[in-house]
Amino acid sequence: MSEIGFKKQFAIDINGINTEFVFHVFDNKWMLLITQLGKLPALYNVQFDVGRDERVIPMLHGPIHSPEMHVSVPVTMNCCMGADSDEIRGGIQFLVNETTLNKCPTELLIGLGLKQLDSPGLREIAKVLDQGVF
Amino acid sequence: MESCAVLKPQQTAGNVAVKGQTTDALEPFTSHVAQLDKGLVQCTLRVLKMNGSTMLFLHAKDSNRLDELAVAMPARPPSKDTIGTTFMGESGQSDSLVMATKLSARYGRQFYVSMNIRLDNLTRPVFEKELVTYMKDNLQHFV
């Protein structure tokens, strides 16, 4: 078996659905592909409005995980390719808030292609990212 | 808490996608990395083979950048054209788009290409020949 071509590339079963993960660190970008569709989903470029080392005020720069006082990490997302939807943007923002993705020092190129975009699925993905990718 | 199980990786050598084919059973992704350093241009090649499409990253050996990304695919039959676009980086006819279009036309498959190497009129044909030769010799990683 040959060497894998990226920092991480594996498939895992999430809530009964085979999910492919590909992660690689480029000099100027992190790339993360998560798909249950067997192909590349819509791609988004995520820019962090406040740099990793400049997020010093949690109330402003997030993330704060509290139902009463939730604060997200401020990002700007651009859909580079594919269908642009609020659901996918919300899913990406959730993963940025909940995982080490918010420690990305550069931009992030992310593809999130889930058959069903729901909270349990996203939580499982966040767990896989923190345990298996970062 | 639902459990996660790592699937066994499967290598499917020589699985050539047929134009317009759709399968219910999805093949697992495979990836590959290689150094192309026999010719004038020394570069690193990363490949991600998906269902019906292939993603290629080409960058110089001493840098690991992702500046451009383009896609090209065969148009719907009966047209025999190849259509493509650059969706990240330079607008218009980028190097990535040219390469993606050539590969898509050659293999009848969707190609995503990120080409982050500066080539001139002298080095481009040499590099393309080296890449195509490598792909021909290692086809199972690409299509």
What are the DSSP calls for A73-92, one per residue?
PPEEEEEEES---HHHHHHH
CA B129 – CA B127 distance, rounded (Å): 5
Average pLDDT over residues B83-90: 91
Supply the pLDDT for residue A69: 84
Q: Is B70 within a domain? A: yes
Given a cut of 50, whether residue A27 has pLDDT beyond it is yes
Asked if the structure places residue B46 within a domain, the reply is yes
Contact A92, A114 (CB under 8 A): no
pLDDT digits (tens, 9 = 90+) for A45-65: 999 998 888 888 877 777 888
Peptide bond into A58 cis (omega under 30): no
- Distance of alpha carbon B22 from alpha carbon B17, whole angstroms: 9
Cα-Cα-Cα-Cα torsion B60, B65, B70, B71, nearest 10 degrees, comes to: 80
Residue B108: DSSP 8-state: T
CA atoms within 13 A of residue A25's CA, in its CB half-sphere? 8
Q: Mean pLDDT throughout B18-42?
A: 76
Q: What is the pLDDT of residue B61?
A: 87
SS3 B90: coil
Q: Residue B73 belongs to a domain with what CATH number?
A: 3.30.230.90
Residue B18 has pLDDT above 90, yes or no: no
Number of CB pairs < 8 Å for A and B?
96
Q: Looking at the whole model, is its pTM more than 0.90?
A: no
- pLDDT per position as a tens digit, B36-61: 987 778 899 999 999 999 999 999 98
Q: In the predicted model, is pLDDT for residue B23 greater than 70?
A: no
Class of the domain covering A8-47+78-129:
alpha beta
Q: Is residue B88 part of a domain?
A: yes
Range of the domain at B43: 30-141
Tokens representing B28? Answer: 């697992």
Q: How confident is the model at residue A66 (pLDDT cuts 50, 70, 90)?
A: confident
Question: Which among B6, B26, B47 is the nearest to A12, CB-wise?
Answer: B6
Q: In the prediction, which pLDDT does A89 show?
A: 97
Query: Would you call B12 an interface residue with chain A, using a CB distance cutoff of 8 Å?
Result: no
Which chain B residues touch A109 with a CB distance below 8 Å?
66, 69, 88
Residue % of chain B over a pLDDT of 70: 83
Residue A50 sits at the chain B interface (C-beta within 8 Å): no
Number of structural domains found in chain B: 1
Give the start-to-end residue ranges of the domains of chain A: 8-47+78-129
Taking the C-alpha atoms of residue A19 and residue A121, their distance in angstroms, rounded to an integer, is 11
Residue B49 lies inside a defined structural domain of this protein: yes
Instruction: Identify the burial level of B91 via C-beta atoms within 10 angstroms of its C-beta, where 0-12 means exposed, 13-18 middle and 19 or more buried.
Output: exposed
User: ipTM for the complex?
Assistant: 0.90
Render pLDDT for B58-73 as a digit per residue (tens, 0 to 9). Answer: 999 888 999 999 999 9
CA dihedral B12, B78, B69, B41 (to 10 degrees): 70
